[in-house]
Structure 1
Amino acid sequence: MTDAPDLAAALIAENFSRDGGGVLHVGGLPLTDLAEEFGTPLFVYDAEVMRRTYRALRAALAGFAEIDYSVKANPNPAVIRVFHEEGAGAEIASGAEFAAALEAGVPPEKILFAGPGKGAADLDRVVAGGIGEIHLENREEILRVAAAAERHGVTVRVALRINPGAAAQGGAMRMGGKPSPFGFDEEEMEAAIDAVEAQGPLRLIGLHLFAGTQGLKAETLLGQWAYGLGLAARIAGRTGRPLETIDLGGGLGIPYFSGDAALDLATLRAGMPDLIATLRADPSLAGARVVLEPGRYLAGPAGLYVARVLAVKESRGSRFVITDGGMHHHLAASGNLGQIVKRDFPLAAVTETGGERAATAVVGPLCTPLDMLARAAPLPPLAEGDLVAVLQSGAYGLTASPTGFLSHPMPAELLVDGGAATVIRPSE
């Protein structure tokens, strides 16, 4: 399905639809109507696609792990709420994300705080708010969290984030097995445990492992999770207490290119018995809550970024479509957000005319050659006023982009649910 030559068409068939006139619909609503009513550029998210994705993953992990939504992928409270109502907790990386999760209805005890640079103000905010766990990533942070706990007269539940050895690497961006600002190196894990144990206001209850991101191979993920259980057993052995939480990270990927195959949930499901057996065989792990914290995987497929064509031009044999959307709203689609996903994202005409397709560069309105949503998207003929949609845009879109660059207005964000569209962030 998602390894078809035209990935955009496959994703539309999987998650959305077209009517008899070739108009792309989200949740039963024509994108042309939404663009007319709410303006462009525009982010549109389908709540039912989010639910379906969450439920399929939960079924694949049944008996082994629960799911916390990684808020960084899309921190809009309306999006967080969709996953919370399905049973997910939340993983946050700032005090503002803590506030967004609370606004979405997530109880503080179901929120965990990760990230390599937690400041004193954010720590005060989450400790005072009764956060469930804080994941420690360096020695200074141990002392900072302990100080916050003392100021508020509480004991804070903490976990150690471990930067694993090379055996646990994998995914499009390796986050283990090499020098890293994230977490304690596996080689110093025992010393880090002792440092936490020396702080009276802290209670070490778990492990956080995040070995890589944008992983599309189920076998790699299963190997990383098995490795994580081994690290968890070592932590429990050092503290002499059973672990309460084993956070095996996120890293589940989604297809962005025609050669990408979607993550095989059936293979994940087939690997669960061995992981469950490992847990049950070790009394120090058997009672732990195992959690995964995907973000991109849950929210990405549900979103589209819609832009209107301003001009079409030929330049020395190349066709350019200039739109009112660009990297200032969707940096990832431009290929300028790290090295995880480069361009081109799957991109489609909102109204499919059936005309002959040609490789088309889709660019934005900014005064930089970096403002390019696609280098060579296979698109039918387009004209001023037509619409294009960037798929896989529910994660790392608006809030992961340089929205202040050139001072263009912010786009609206819509959530489509039950046949109705709700503005969840107004345009400027």
Structure 2
Amino acid sequence: MNVEKFIEKQLGGEPVCAYVYDLGKLRNHAESLKKSLPSFCRLYYAVKANPDGRLLQTLASTVDGFEVASEGEMEKVPLNRPMLFGAPAKKDREIAAAIDRGVEAINVESLHDLNRIALTAEKKQVEVPVLIRVNLSSDVPESHHMMSGVPTQFGVDERDLPQVMEKILDTSWISVEGFHFHAMSNNLDARAHVRFVELCLEKAKIWRDRYELSVSTVDIGGGIGINYWQPDDAFDWGILAYGLHSLEAQMEGLTLVLEIGRYMTAACGSYVTEVVDVKKIMTRLLH
């Protein structure tokens, strides 16, 4: 239902306060984002942005998969849709649930995290695909909220990667599918995002060759911001899409995954509430 129809339906009834999603607008927006991307990209919806089942069903036929961060989110994803599972503090039962559900990959966030994933995989006698999430040491373009190049709970410190790789190469139950990076959050600079993608590709190819891996995926996470205060000065998706197309020669067979959350949903809904009074106090108009 769009917001105009919702308001019309509520007129004359009880006072209302609601957040109304226009599912048609959401579907069209997701299709537009996906259509703009080059063929080497896969578009995932980050379920944490809004896990409502109706939104997930609406997106299921458009996005390439869903990124989940808990067992609860796994359970809400429509059946037989691809999932990536990433969280810095996974419960043992969530690791087991992710394996049982056949997720495409589980993020490795630390050496201890890796050990727990490997132990669960061995118990189940199943080889588990993983993406190693790396907290890059430096050279990360700045954003409103940095998640790499600074101490955070997310990812393996780049300086600890050799130790993690040694463990992986010593186990039969872990298969490295690629690397995950999510260094930027609430970023509004599309050109900086393209530079970040270039950095991720460079790092992933260096590690692929150094450790003789057959990796297929570079996951750059999400991190695209919403300018709620100045909507006309928004993140320019067109610049990002153009920049990604320009990187095709650098891909070398790799697939680039984008995990888009609030940027996919934020513009597709409206807060609706009844204004019961309007008054002017000094020079300010109050509702």
TM-score, scaled relative to structure 1: 0.62
Q: Could you tell me whether the CA contact under 8 Å between 1:43 and 1:304 is conserved in 2?
A: yes
Amino acid at match of 1:159: L
C-alpha separation between the residues in 1 aligned to 2:126 and 2:15? 49
Using CA pairs below 8 Å that are at least 6 residues apart, which structure has the higher relative contact order? 2
The equivalent residue for 1:293 is 259
The equivalent residue for 1:75 is 51
Deviation at residue 179 of structure 1 after TM alignment: 1.0
Matched position secondary structure for 1:166? coil
C-alpha separation between the residues in 1 aligned to 2:278 and 2:80? 46
The equivalent residue for 1:94 is 70
Which runs of structure 2 are paired with 1:29-428 in the superposition (5 Å)?
29-34=5-10, 40-101=16-77, 104-107=78-81, 110-258=82-230, 261-280=233-252, 286=253, 288-309=254-275, 317=282, 358=285, 360=286, 382=287
C-alpha separation between the residues in 2 aligned to 1:118 and 1:145? 10
Q: Could you tell me whether the CA contact under 8 Å between 1:92 and 1:111 is conserved in 2?
A: yes
Amino acid at match of 1:157: P
Amino acid at match of 1:90: F
Structure 2: gaps (5+ residues)? none
| Runs of at least 4 residues off by over 3 Å | 34-39, 308-315
Deviation at residue 155 of structure 1 after TM alignment: 0.7
C-alpha separation between the residues in 1 aligned to 2:257 and 2:206? 18
Structure 1: gaps (5+ residues)? 1-24, 281-285, 320-357, 361-381, 383-428
Alpha-carbon spacing, 1:165–1:53, altered in 2? closer, same or farther (3 Å): farther
Q: Could you tell me whether the CA contact under 8 Å between 1:157 and 1:205 is conserved in 2?
A: yes
C-alpha separation between the residues in 1 aligned to 2:112 and 2:14? 47
Matched position secondary structure for 1:159? strand
**Alpha-carbon displacement from aligned partner over 1:110-137 (angstroms, at most 9, x marks no partner):** 1000111001011111112212110010
Alpha-carbon spacing, 1:274–1:187, altered in 2? closer, same or farther (3 Å): farther
CA RMSD in angstroms comes to: 2.4
Greater helix proportion: 2
Deviation at residue 53 of structure 1 after TM alignment: 1.9
Matched position secondary structure for 1:270? helix
Matched position secondary structure for 1:224? helix
Which runs of structure 2 are paired with 1:9-20 in the superposition (5 Å)?
none
Q: Matched residues, percent identical?
A: 27
Amino acid at match of 1:199: T
Deviation at residue 251 of structure 1 after TM alignment: 1.1
C-alpha separation between the residues in 2 aligned to 1:312 and 1:195? 65
Q: Could you tell me whether the CA contact under 8 Å between 1:169 and 1:176 is conserved in 2?
A: no
Deviation at residue 264 of structure 1 after TM alignment: 1.8
C-alpha separation between the residues in 2 aligned to 1:277 and 1:38? 59
**Alpha-carbon displacement from aligned partner over 1:141-182 (angstroms, at most 9, x marks no partner):** 111111211222211100110111331233221111111110
Alpha-carbon spacing, 1:203–1:38, altered in 2? closer, same or farther (3 Å): farther
